[in-house]
Amino acid sequence: MSYMAWGPYVSVAQKRRKAEREVAKLKKKGQSIEPVVIEGKKIAASFWGKAWCDNLERYSDYESRLPRGRSYVRNGAVVDLKLAKGEVLALVQGSSLYKIKITIEPTAKKRWKSICQDCTGSIDSLVELLQGRMAKSVMDRVCREVDGLFPAPKEIKLSCSCPDGARMCKHVAATLYGVGARLDRKPQLLFALRGVDESELLAGAASGAGLSELSSTNANVLADDDVGALFGLEMADGADSAAANPIVVKNGRKRPQASPDKVVAGKKTGTAKSSKSKSVTAITAKKRAAKEPARPVKRAA
């Protein structure tokens, strides 16, 4: 009878400490490290992060290794993750520190053009797009399984330095889930990963023209209302604010003119009203005194 040799059990706490030591070593060498940090049980909370993870779980090719991958990424095993055009590079802590490289084919130009055309007239803001606040029909089109923006298994090449001979090991699965967590903070990385420019979606919506006639440079500039929506602010024009309170020079002194919000129906209120109240009261008193007849003076008997 043959027995399978199992390595010594390593607790989650031990793995975390080991991962922290490895990260410290890499930082000491001057290497830029971007770990994946999961807070709570949810790997992703935003639209794009959840959509990536949902797409990952659609494919039966990955089904057997995904649960271990979820456990690894939640426990902080993905100590470094970097996304670039068509490529994901990661370091995952297991019994050793393993190097993962995932290559993803760029989105075909025909497919991307079709996505942009189908979304024409439906996208008004890059902020709304990246926040996943577009109409359901738009998001369903972008995330469509067959011809959407997410890659299919046949478009992905997986590589890990671990001895596991499976096409997808738990370290690769953890890395793919780490991508979903990273898209929570930087959803624009999805478009960079697939080799497309997200601003073309907005440019197509704005002009209604073909992609060959679009200028993506202009679409990259966020309008004031877009910035306000992103940060929850009401944007005000600085020039208008300055014009609202111009400085008036009078008798050698600079004095601010009355603000427009203190002018009602052609009359000034606030400080302007108080400055005239005394003179108006004095004039009115004189007019009344002139109209009233003189009263006789009573003399003592």
Q: Give percent helix, percent strand, percent coil of the chain, each to the nearest 5.
A: 45, 15, 40
Q: What is the pLDDT of residue 87?
A: 96
Q: Which helix H or strand E contains 276, and what residues bound it?
A: helix 271-291
161 and 17 co-located in one domain: yes
Same domain, 58 and 207: no
pLDDT band at 5 (very low <50, low <70, confident <90, very high): very low
Nearest to 137 by CA among 127, 123, 154: 123
Say if residue 161 is in the same domain as residue 264. Answer: no
Q: Is residue 99 part of a domain?
A: yes
Phi, psi of 47 (to 5 degrees): -60, -50
Residue 123 covered by a domain: yes
100 and 165 assigned to the same domain? yes
Is residue 255's pLDDT more than 80?
A: no
Q: Supply 10's token pair.
A: 């390593």
Model confidence over 11-59: pLDDT tens digits? 667 777 888 888 888 888 888 889 999 988 899 999 999 999 999 988 7
pLDDT at residue number 150: 93
Question: pTM, whole model, 2 decimals?
Answer: 0.64
Q: Specify the number of domains making up the chain.
A: 3
Decide if 39 is inside a domain: yes
Give the mean pLDDT of 196-225.
54
Looking at the structure, tell me whether residues 136 and 208 fall in a common domain. Answer: yes
Q: Is 290 helix (H, G, I), strand (E, B) or coil?
A: helix
Q: Which of 182-186, 239-243, 260-264, 279-283 has the highest mean pLDDT?
A: 182-186
Return the DSSP state at 149.
S
Alpha-carbon gap, residue 132 to 126, rounded angstroms = 10
**Cα angle, residue 141 at apex, residues 66 and 155 outer, rounded to 5°:** 45
Contact 129, 120 (CB under 8 A): no
User: Which whole-number Å values give the CA distances from 172 to 56, 91, 160, 243, 271, in the listed order?
Assistant: 12, 10, 7, 59, 70
Interatomic CA distance for residues 235 and 242, integer angstroms: 15
The mean-pLDDT minimum among 24-38, 92-106, 146-160, 179-193 falls in 24-38
| DSSP for 154-185, written as a single string | GGEEEEESSS--SSS-HHHHHHHHHHHHHHHH
Neighbours of 49 (CB within 10 A): 24
Task: Tell me which DSSP letter residue 33 carries.
Answer: -
Q: pLDDT at position 120, please? A: 81
Over range 222-231, report the average pLDDT. Answer: 44
Range of the domain at 261: 244-269
Which residues does 120 contact at the CB level (< 8 Å), separation at least 6? 204, 205, 208
Helices assigned H by DSSP within 119-269: 126-131, 136-142, 170-185, 188-193, 199-207, 216-219, 224-231, 238-244
181 and 265 together in one domain = no
Q: Count Cα atoms within 13 angstroms, Cβ side, for 42.
A: 9
Residues paired with 107 in a beta bridge: none
CB atoms within 10 A of CB 82: 14
Whether 251 is in a domain gets the answer: yes
Q: Are residues 101 and 112 in the same domain?
A: no
SS3 96: coil
Same domain flag for 64 and 160: yes
C-alpha–C-alpha distance, residues 91 and 81, integer Å: 7
Q: 50-64, 72-86, 103-117, 173-187: which has the minimum mean pLDDT?
A: 50-64
Q: Are residues 127 and 257 in the same domain?
A: no
